[in-house]
Chains A and B, each alone.
Chain A
Amino acid sequence: MRGQRLLVSGMGGELGSLVASMLEDEPWVGSLFGIDVDPPRRRLRKAEFLRIEPTDRDRIVEVVTAFDPHVLVHLAVWEPDARAGTDLARAFTEAAAHAFIGAAAECRSLESIVVRSGIELYGRDRHALTRPDESVLPHPTSEYGRMLTRLEAAARQAGERIGVPVGMLRLAPVLGPHVPSPLGRLLRQSVVPYSLLADPPFSVVEDADAARAFVAAAQRRLDQPVNVVGPGAITGLQAIARGRRIPVPLFGPEWGLTRRLSHLVGAPIPDHVLEVLHRGRLADGSRAQQLLGVAPTVSTPEVIDRLYAWESVVRVPSPIRGAA
């Protein structure tokens, strides 16, 4: 098992950088290679990185086939309004999926594909299960959910064609100190809207817990979907109260105006985040321990508390002034 070659797509993102830094410490990882449109956000010691646009498929195929990975960890997924608007996020995610999964399928050494997915694909339609487990069929009701459903289908089909196991980690909304998350950004505003009539519960997962799950999935050659959800749950109003923000109760039609205002102040509310506030988002993550050997340890209320404890601006003293 030693000397494995791992390819991490989306290594430049916060989650990708975190996964890469954890993989560097794994004794079974021989060489680590990453590709993304942005450079990694952490100092990586062993990993090699190439900056390639997700739309540059020829270049990606060339680089990936030359590296010939044993495991592809596919994290190149753009959540709408996290780093790009919904249209751009959809285009980038689909382009990256075709390029990376297609290129990996051409590699003779490939033994496993691990894909980043999300519990958004279960959807929150009326009468949808409160805590769906992995056996529930995807029925997305938001654009992000549909993106993830297509991504999973593409990865599964590719895996079946070449006979390689495909593991899908369905993450709850990921929050962390530098993770670009529209939900986290909204909750950190001074004034936060919530649904007065519903105020449903939701769960989240901390970025470090999610990263540990990816490392375990790559090592164990996971071949099925797994929900990765922090223990516990919280409602929008409870989260706002914990952060000592001003809650704004909304009934229905004024949500449209609120979304526009929120967009103007820098916290757009995409439809999957609106769904969290209106219908909640929970999932049964009890199989993670059994299938991955690890399970999230930081509970949802703790992640929310940490969300509010993070500094807005981290001031780094100027080295020139410090030297003087």
Chain B
Amino acid sequence: MATIIDLPRRAFDTTRSIAMAPVRPLIPAGMVDEWGRDDHVIRALSPLLRLRWNVSVGGDQHLPSRSGALLVTNDRRFSFSPLYTSWALAQATGRPVRFVGHPDVVPFGPALRRMGAILRNPAEVRGALHHGELVVLATAPTNHPRSAGAVDPALVGAAVMAGVSVFPVASMSSPLGRSARVQVGAQVRPRKKRRGPLAEHELAEMTQRHLQRMLDELGGMQTGMTAIDWLGEG
């Protein structure tokens, strides 16, 4: 008759527990959400992000409290505006805010996914919007901080198909300083209701125009009189 042999399990468990004790606090216990965003990681990185950007948020009352929305923001090259915009809006609204455009390459892709990034794919964006998520989409990158690049109609089409609103979000930051601004505008409402693909093309163009107007109204990061401005005053 077969018998069960007891291995020295308790001794093994004790050894394992002692070996793991120094590294256990470093291992994130918990879980990620259904899109792979890790709240634990974002909380841990928040002091670093705060060290880089001191973001003032305005107009967040425009955003829906529960349903999904596509937030289109301008993007100066190397400004990482989708990252700080989504982080600042998540803190202002208390909701997870995702951003479009993580490269599907290790280690950057998985790391950005933990921060809330999703793939730059209309089906992926549509899925997130359909599930009531706030998604930040960057325009085409530009060299000028106050210029809104073109908005991808295919990605705006995801919002049209999901039946959610589109909001322009003007973002501005300094390449060297900490100050940054994120201003949410009112919902973009198309003048005509379209049944076909014209809807996303017109909505994308209108969003770009709204965004450009907001950036013009916002002014630069450095405002006020320069030291010699008084010479010009009559």
Q: Which residues of A contact B (CB under 8 A)?
A: 126-127, 129-131, 133, 136, 190, 195, 197-201, 203, 231-235, 237-238, 240-242, 244, 246-247, 280, 282, 284, 286, 300-301, 313, 315
Whether the pair B4, A286 counts as a contact (CB closer than 8 A) is: no
* Least CB separation from A304: chain B residue: B31
Known contacts A129-B124, A190-B16; A241 and B119 CB within 8 A of each other: no
Known contacts A130-B119, A133-B127, A286-B131; A246 and B16 CB within 8 A of each other: yes
10 interchain residue pairs of minimum CB distance = A197-B106, A201-B36, A241-B27, A197-B107, A301-B31, A201-B32, A198-B110, A241-B29, A198-B106, A234-B31
Q: List 29 contacting pairs A-B, 8 Å CB cutoff, sorted by A.
A: A127-B119, A130-B118, A130-B119, A130-B127, A131-B34, A131-B124, A190-B12, A197-B106, A197-B107, A198-B109, A199-B110, A201-B32, A203-B34, A233-B36, A234-B31, A235-B38, A238-B27, A238-B29, A238-B30, A238-B32, A240-B27, A241-B24, A242-B29, A244-B20, A246-B20, A282-B34, A284-B131, A301-B30, A315-B4
CB of B93 within 8 Å of the partner chain: no
CB of B217 within 8 Å of the partner chain: no
* Least CB separation from A313: chain B residue: B4
* Least CB separation from B123: chain A residue: A129
CB of B121 within 8 Å of the partner chain: yes
Mostly helix, strand, loop or mixed at chain B's interface? loop
CB of B229 within 8 Å of the partner chain: no
* Distance A315 CA – B4 CA, assembled complex (angstroms): 9
* Distance A135 CA – B34 CA, assembled complex (angstroms): 18
Whether the pair A129, B29 counts as a contact (CB closer than 8 A) is: no
* Distance A131 CA – B35 CA, assembled complex (angstroms): 7
Name the A residues within 8 Å of B30 (CB-CB).
238, 301
Rounded to whole Å, the gap between the CB of B161 and the closest CB of chain A is 11
| Residue picked from A130, A199, A231, A244, most chain B C-beta under 10 Å | A130
Name the B residues within 8 Å of A136 (CB-CB).
123
- State which residues 65-113 of B face A: CB under 8 Å: 104, 106-107, 109-110, 113
* Distance A284 CA – B130 CA, assembled complex (angstroms): 11
Rounded to whole Å, the gap between the CB of A234 and the closest CB of chain B is 5
CB of B234 within 8 Å of the partner chain: no
Contact partner of A130 (CB less than 8 A), chosen from B28, B29, B35, B107, is B35
* Distance A213 CA – B139 CA, assembled complex (angstroms): 43
* Distance A129 CA – B131 CA, assembled complex (angstroms): 15
Rounded to whole Å, the gap between the CB of A228 and the closest CB of chain B is 14
Whether the pair B31, A131 counts as a contact (CB closer than 8 A) is: no
Rounded to whole Å, the gap between the CB of B137 and the closest CB of chain A is 16
Name the B residues within 8 Å of A284 (CB-CB).
127, 131
CB of B17 within 8 Å of the partner chain: yes
* Distance A201 CA – B20 CA, assembled complex (angstroms): 23
Whether the pair B36, A200 counts as a contact (CB closer than 8 A) is: yes
* Least CB separation from B33: chain A residue: A233
Rounded to whole Å, the gap between the CB of A203 and the closest CB of chain B is 7
Rounded to whole Å, the gap between the CB of B4 and the closest CB of chain A is 6
Whether the pair B16, A131 counts as a contact (CB closer than 8 A) is: no
Name the A residues within 8 Å of B35 (CB-CB).
130-131, 282
* Least CB separation from A199: chain B residue: B110
Name the B residues within 8 Å of A198 (CB-CB).
106-107, 109-110
Name the B residues within 8 Å of A247 (CB-CB).
27
Name the A residues within 8 Å of B34 (CB-CB).
131, 203, 231-233, 282
Rounded to whole Å, the gap between the CB of A7 and the closest CB of chain B is 35
* Distance A127 CA – B105 CA, assembled complex (angstroms): 9
CB of B225 within 8 Å of the partner chain: no
Whether the pair B16, A282 counts as a contact (CB closer than 8 A) is: no
Rounded to whole Å, the gap between the CB of A119 and the closest CB of chain B is 13
Name the B residues within 8 Å of A246 (CB-CB).
16, 19-20
* Distance A190 CA – B19 CA, assembled complex (angstroms): 13
